[in-house]
Amino acid sequence: MKKIKWCIIGAGGIADRRAIPALLCDKQNEIVAVMDKVDAVAKQIAEKYGVEHYYSNAEEMLAAVPCDAVYIATPVFCHYEHAMLALKYNAHVFMEKPLALNYKEGKKIVDAFKSKNKQLIIGYMMGYHNLHCKAHQLVQAGKLGSINTVRLQFSCWYPEIPGAWRQQKSMSGGGCIMDLAVHCMELFYNITGDRIAECKSFFGNKTFSYEVEDSAVITFRSKNGIYGIIDVNFNIPDNCSSAKLEIYGTEGSIYAEGTLGQEEAGRLKYIYSPQGAYEAQQNRSVAKPQLFYGKKGNIYLKQFKAFNKLILSQNRDYTNADRALEIQGICDSIYNGK
Ligand SMILES: NC(=O)c1ccc[n+]([C@@H]2O[C@H](COP(=O)([O-])OP(=O)(O)OC[C@H]3O[C@@H](n4cnc5c(N)ncnc54)[C@H](O)[C@@H]3O)[C@@H](O)[C@H]2O)c1
C-alpha cells in the first residue's frame, strides 16, 4: 500500500481535536511534519502524535520535508496564502471550510489547483454522515416525491472572546453564516443535488457585540424550485441547540435531529405517506415512521479516505471545490444584500 505523506499547517485547533486523530486511524497516512505559527503548539502536537518534524514557518516546512498532501486548518484569512504555498510545493490539499474569505479569493485558489492538476478538497465532512447519506439516497430515489421545502438549523454558544479571529470580519469573512450556514448549504447541495438560486436573509447581532453576525435566517429558492430555510446562531446555548434537517416532499418527509455536527450521531425519521384526496379530518397519526440512527463512525476519516482515493488515482475531481466556491459566492451575495 502506498503511504501518503502529510504535512499539517495550523496544528492546534480542529487539526488536533479531529483531523490528526482521524488521519492516524488510517495506516495509509503518515504525518511527516506539523506546523503552527505558535512554536510551542507545533512542538506539543508533534510530541503528542509522535511526528518527527515540527515548524513555526510553513514554507520552511514544505521546502524541507517532501510530502504528497497538506492538511490546512488555519483561520480563514490564511487559507489563500497556505493553499497557494502548498500548491507551489506541488502538494494536493485538504483544507478546512470555508474555502476562503470571499468568492474572488476562493476562485483564485480553485483555478490555481485546476491549472496544476492538483486535488483540492474542502472539509465539508457532514455529507459523509451515514444519516445524510441515507437522506441523499431517499431523496434521489424519489422516496419523498417532489421536494417542496427544506429546513436546516445549526447553532452553538459563541460568546465574546478577546482577539478571537472568528469574531473579526477581516479574519473570518463573517460570523455564523461563514462558520455554520456554509455547512448547511453544502448539505443541501449534497443531499438534493440541487443548487441555491436566490436568497433573502436577515442577519445581525442580537446578543453579542463582536463585529460579525451572531444570528442569521436565510431563506432561499433553488434552481429546481425548492424553498429552503437555513437558521444559524452563535447565541443559543449548546445544550439548547438541536441541529435539525427537515425535508418535505409530496409523498414523504425526513426529519433528522442531531446529525449536523462533528459526530456521526443523531437520528433520522422518514415517513412515506402519499396522499390521495383532500382529507378534511387531517389525521396525522396513521403514518408509520422509519427510524435510522447515527453509526458513531468518524466522518473526518471518511472524507480523508475519499481524498486519498482521489489523489492516488490520476483523475481529479473538483465537484467539492466548485461547490465550496459557489457557496462562497452565495455568502458574498448575502453579506452584500444582493
Ligand atoms: N470541519 C469542521 O468540523 C471544523 C471545525 C472547526 C473549525 N473548522 C475550520 O478549521 C479552520 C481552523 O479553525 P479552528 O477552530 O481550528 O481555529 P483555532 O484558532 O482553534 O486553531 C487554528 C490553529 O492555527 C494556528 N494558526 C493561526 N494562524 C496561523 C498561521 N498564520 N500559520 C500557521 N498556523 C496558524 C493557531 O495557532 C491554531 O493552532 C477554520 O477554517 C475553521 O472554519 C472546521
Residue-wise pLDDT for 74-114, tens only, equals 999 999 999 999 999 999 999 999 999 999 999 999 999 99
The residue nearest atom 1 of ligand 1, judged by CA position, is: 123
User: For residue 53, what is its C-alpha cell?
Assistant: 518534524
Say yes or no: 23 and 95 in one domain. yes
Query: Are the beta carbons of 214 and 233 closer than 8 angstroms?
Result: yes
Number of domains the chain is built from: 2
Q: For the whole prediction, is pTM greater than 0.95?
A: yes
Q: How many helices (H) and strands (E) does the chain have?
A: 12, 14
Domain holding 50, by residue range, is 4-123+301-314
Residue bearing cell 463512525:
297
Which residues contact ligand 1 via a Cβ below 6 A? Answer: 9-14, 36-38, 41, 73-76, 78, 96-97, 123, 125, 179, 262
Calpha distance 268→175 (Å, rounded): 28
Say yes or no: 184 and 262 in one domain. yes
Distance 311 CA to ligand 1 centre (A): 24
Say yes or no: 44 and 139 in one domain. no
With respect to residue 338, please indicate whether it lies within any of the assigned structural domains: no
Position 226 confidence tier, pLDDT thresholds 50, 70, 90: very high
Sign of the dihedral through C-alpha 235, 236, 239, 243: negative
Virtual CA dihedral for 199, 137, 284, 278, nearest 10 degrees? 70
With respect to residue 178, please indicate whether it lies within any of the assigned structural domains: yes
Mutate to test the pocket of ligand 1, among 43, 76, 96 (most ligand atoms within 8 A of CB): 96
131-174, pLDDT tens digit by residue?
Answer: 999 999 999 999 999 999 999 999 999 999 999 999 999 999 99
Angle between helices 182-192 and 130-140 (to 10 degrees): 40
Distance 178 CA to ligand 1 centre (A): 14
Strands (E), 42-146: 53-55, 69-72, 92-95, 120-122
Give the residue-averaged pLDDT of 18-30. Answer: 98
232-269, pLDDT tens digit by residue?
Answer: 999 999 999 889 999 999 999 999 999 999 999 999 99
Mutate to test the pocket of ligand 1, among 9, 14, 34 (most ligand atoms within 8 A of CB): 14
72-82, pLDDT tens digit by residue?
Answer: 999 999 999 99
With respect to residue 103, please indicate whether it lies within any of the assigned structural domains: yes
Give the residue-averaged pLDDT of 34-57. Answer: 98
Amino acid symbol at 53:
H
Sign of the dihedral through C-alpha 82, 66, 303, 54: negative
With respect to residue 321, please indicate whether it lies within any of the assigned structural domains: no
